[in-house]
Chains A and B, each alone.
Chain A
Amino acid sequence: MKKRILSAIVGTAVLGFAAGTASAATLDDVKSKDSLQCGVSQGLPGFSNPDQDGNWSGLDVDFCRAVAAAIFGDASKVKFTPLSAKERFTALQSGDVDILSRNTTWTMSRDTALGLNFSVVNYYDGQGFMVRKDLGVNSALELSGASICTNTGTTTELNVADYFRANNMEYELVAFEKADEVVAAYDAGRCDVYTTDQSGLYAQRLKLTDPAAHVVLPEIISKEPLGPVVRQGDDQWLNIIKWTHFAMLNAEELGVTQANVDEMKNSDNPSIKRLLGTEGEFGGAIGLSNDWAYNVIKEIGNYGESFDRNVGPDTPLAISRGVNAQWNDGGLQYGPPIR
């Protein structure tokens, strides 16, 4: 009996180690699971937010659905894992999620020391401050001595520290683990200031009891390029993520939309032909079918459509394109050519 237990222990140990070493090709894993595991936020309107029935929507959610559409031709083959700011990198490192699409800021230390790769920037953001209107504050420079609510484990804590130090101001930082608790504490008056990425401020303001009583200050104190993250060491997977985003950008630039994508298949424009896979073998080069980009646009639409649907001027967030416009519109979004 003892012997059998012992051999069982040794056996599982050896098997366990063997399984631990063999997981390089994320695309094969995703295909064999028949779904993409996508790490998202625990609820940030406009970016990744579940509705009452548990259906996720938002810019970051759209991106995961687009990747699923590129792989499976079916945008619904995604499972979402809500992650706190604290858990997100560990979840990706350990393989719990295949892609982290969770308004995550691209910084050098995260890109180099965590064993992760940032792929593209799907939203250019910057950190801002929100205060109560009746406080009578017009600039972040008037905030010396204020109590500031934010999330733990984010770049915002460090940015606030730098900004207040640089301007010789005092402050008290109250850092919560979950965004909902930050909102609740700010709403209850624990803090004078709520700080996070400016897009997040517009989104979280909707959750306050009286959104109109709060104002986002004009200062932007940091660069926050947000984008999807993958594990290091799987170039094919990184390529799929990058080119899914670029395909959505190119589609917008070329005027290919969810509505007209079927007509566009007959277009004579060689750029559109290469994008939609009627010419060339670009899908095969990243391990996908040739109509990968067609599927993305058919199911999700181009980048501009996704932006307008989730955060654009007609949504409650009412964020203008700004730096997130196409390069030829004065923005920073630039899709390298498919050729």
Chain B
Amino acid sequence: MALQDVSQDVGQPKVALFNDPKVRGWVYQVVLLVVIVYLVVVGVQNMFANLAAQNIASGFGFIGRNAGFAISQSLLEYNQAESSYGKVYIVGLLNTISIAFIGILLATVLGFLIGIARLSHNFIVRGVATVYVEIFRNIPLLLHIFIWYFGVLRLLPHPRNSGDLGWLGLLNNRGWFAPKPLPQELFFITAIAFIVGIVVTIFISRWSRQRQAKTGQQFPVFWTGMGLILGLPVLVFLVTGLPLEFDYPVAGGFRPSGGMTVIPEFIAMLLALSTYTAAFIAEIVRAGIMAVNKGQTEASHALGLRHGPTLRLVIIPQAMRVIIPPLTSQYLNLTKNSSLAVAIAYPDLVSVFAGTALNQTGQAVEILGMTMLTYLGLSLLTAAFMNWYNAKMALVER
């Protein structure tokens, strides 16, 4: 910057076009771009020419074709007789997203708890947290997955003597057969009450913040919010006459019928992914908290803030700025690691689409390309969200 300012003061010296740094810069950029585009075009042409020369089918026509194989877990209606490879893709994608999303939530909660426990003044709590981190961080994830899977399978009973969890359904080595909620006619009023509760809480918290900034008076936002978000729907639910019934699973045959099933592969995968990633998140949280200078705590105490508000208003907002960027890459890791699910037959995107569908159609380039783009898209979306959150938490200089 400074150099440019000086040159402007002196006035542009006359130089040959060839020696003008700006022109040269542009020329280099254009040449590089042309080379990259050329390489990509030649590479793609070469690929199609070779595929054609080797008589390997290409194109995306397979997406509409009937897949004809079964998938053990599907969030959508999936029918092996009619569903296409396109449907297989969507089913696999939803399975990947669901394991990644729930895994991220669990890993975050567990990671924050352990990270804070590692800073505890209690020797035993600190020790347990340290042992947890060292064990889970230093064993390969695939082994975690196998241990959870075969451990879970061996512990659970055969369907003929399923464990009875009472109103939670049945548990055996074919999965957790949970009661399926069947919303009745008036249930939508409860759902509306829930949404109303959330919206009103948001308004109240804004209003209370403004009022506190103006007058210093505080308002019990948390308890009001809990009452509105949880209490209101429950009240409406009772008043409208419990408009929700459950379809309970019934034991019998090879496996219980009715209800909804959570397959053991999902449970094992979720436990493995979240406990493994939680160890890394714990370290990130610990680093973030330790990065906040001790003087901040002392200053806060000197201002008369007690321990709780100090943590909530001084330490954590500053720690979050250190925590969020590495936390983002842990989220991305967890999403990508979910592709190891293929080892234990969890039907994620890699297993059903880049696995079975690839093998049935033989169109490796198209299917792997689609799968790669999908993971790229998922990761970019996660990163975009975390960057937005990071920008929100960033230090606002006044």
Interface residues, chain A, CB within 8 Å of chain B?
2, 6, 9-10, 13, 17, 20-21, 85-86, 89-90, 93, 109-110, 112-115, 143-147, 149, 152-154, 157-158, 160-162, 165, 171-178, 181, 184-185, 188-190, 192, 231-233
**Complex Cα spacing A231 to B71, Å:** 31
Are B358 and A86 neighbours in the complex by a CB distance under 8 Å? yes
Interface residues, chain B, CB within 8 Å of chain A?
28, 31, 35, 39, 42, 46, 50-51, 53-57, 68-72, 80-81, 149-150, 153-154, 158, 173-174, 253-255, 257, 263-265, 342-345, 347, 351-352, 355-356, 358-362, 364
A2-B28, A93-B56 given; A189·B158 CB < 8 A: yes
**Complex Cα spacing A189 to B254, Å:** 12
Tell me the minimal C-beta distance from A146 to chain B in angstroms.
Answer: 5
Are B72 and A173 neighbours in the complex by a CB distance under 8 Å? yes
Are B345 and A174 neighbours in the complex by a CB distance under 8 Å? yes
* Closest B residue to A188 using CB positions: B153
Besides A93-B56, A177-B342, 11 other A-B contacts (C-beta < 8 A): A114-B57, A115-B51, A144-B254, A146-B255, A147-B255, A165-B80, A172-B255, A178-B343, A185-B150, A188-B154, A232-B54
Q: Which residues of A contact B71 (CB under 8 A)?
A: 173
Of B55, B173, B352, the residue contacting A188 (CB under 8 A) is B173
Residue picked from B54, B149, B361, most chain A C-beta under 10 Å: B54
Are A233 and B54 neighbours in the complex by a CB distance under 8 Å? yes
* A/B interface sample: 24 pairs, CB < 8 A: A13-B39, A17-B46, A90-B364, A115-B56, A144-B253, A145-B257, A146-B255, A147-B174, A147-B255, A153-B355, A153-B358, A157-B70, A158-B68, A158-B69, A162-B68, A165-B81, A172-B255, A173-B71, A175-B345, A175-B356, A178-B343, A188-B154, A189-B153, A232-B55
Q: Chain B's interface: helix, strand, loop or mixed, by majority?
A: helix
Q: Which residues of B contact A109 (CB under 8 A)?
A: 360, 362
A115-B55, A146-B254, A188-B173 given; A176·B345 CB < 8 A: yes
Residue picked from B68, B80, B263, most chain A C-beta under 10 Å: B80
Tell me the minimal C-beta distance from A141 to chain B in angstroms.
Answer: 14
* Closest B residue to A175 using CB positions: B345
* Closest B residue to A184 using CB positions: B150
**Complex Cα spacing A6 to B343, Å:** 42
Are B35 and A9 neighbours in the complex by a CB distance under 8 Å? yes
Are A113 and B362 neighbours in the complex by a CB distance under 8 Å? yes
Q: Which residues of B contact A181 (CB under 8 A)?
A: 343-345
**Complex Cα spacing A188 to B264, Å:** 12
Tell me the minimal C-beta distance from B249 to chain A in angstroms.
Answer: 13
Are B70 and A171 neighbours in the complex by a CB distance under 8 Å? yes
Q: Which residues of A contact B42 (CB under 8 A)?
A: 13, 17
Q: Which residues of B contact A21 (CB under 8 A)?
A: 50
**Complex Cα spacing A130 to B33, Å:** 59
Are B356 and A153 neighbours in the complex by a CB distance under 8 Å? yes
**Complex Cα spacing A146 to B72, Å:** 12
Q: Which residues of A contact B28 (CB under 8 A)?
A: 2
* Closest B residue to A231 using CB positions: B54
**Complex Cα spacing A193 to B340, Å:** 24
Of A85, A115, A188, the residue contacting B359 (CB under 8 A) is A85
Number of residue pairs spanning A and B whose beta carbons lie under 8 angstroms apart: 134
Are A176 and B344 neighbours in the complex by a CB distance under 8 Å? yes
**Complex Cα spacing A177 to B345, Å:** 7
Are A158 and B360 neighbours in the complex by a CB distance under 8 Å? yes
* Closest B residue to A142 using CB positions: B254
* Closest B residue to A10 using CB positions: B35
**Complex Cα spacing A157 to B56, Å:** 23
A-B interface, 7 closest residue pairs, ranked by CB to CB distance from nearest = A153-B359, A115-B54, A115-B56, A173-B70, A113-B57, A188-B153, A114-B362
Q: Which residues of A contact B255 (CB under 8 A)?
A: 145-147, 172
Are A152 and B35 neighbours in the complex by a CB distance under 8 Å? no
**Complex Cα spacing A17 to B42, Å:** 9
A162-B68, A181-B345, A189-B173 given; A152·B351 CB < 8 A: yes
**Complex Cα spacing A21 to B351, Å:** 32
Q: Which residues of B contact A171 (CB under 8 A)?
A: 70
Q: Which residues of B contact A144 (CB under 8 A)?
A: 253-254
**Complex Cα spacing A303 to B130, Å:** 61
Residue picked from B154, B158, B345, B356, most chain A C-beta under 10 Å: B345
Q: Which residues of A contact B174 (CB under 8 A)?
A: 147, 172, 190
Q: Which residues of B contact A86 (CB under 8 A)?
A: 355, 358-359
Are B173 and A190 neighbours in the complex by a CB distance under 8 Å? yes
Tell me the minimal C-beta distance from B108 to chain A in angstroms.
Answer: 29
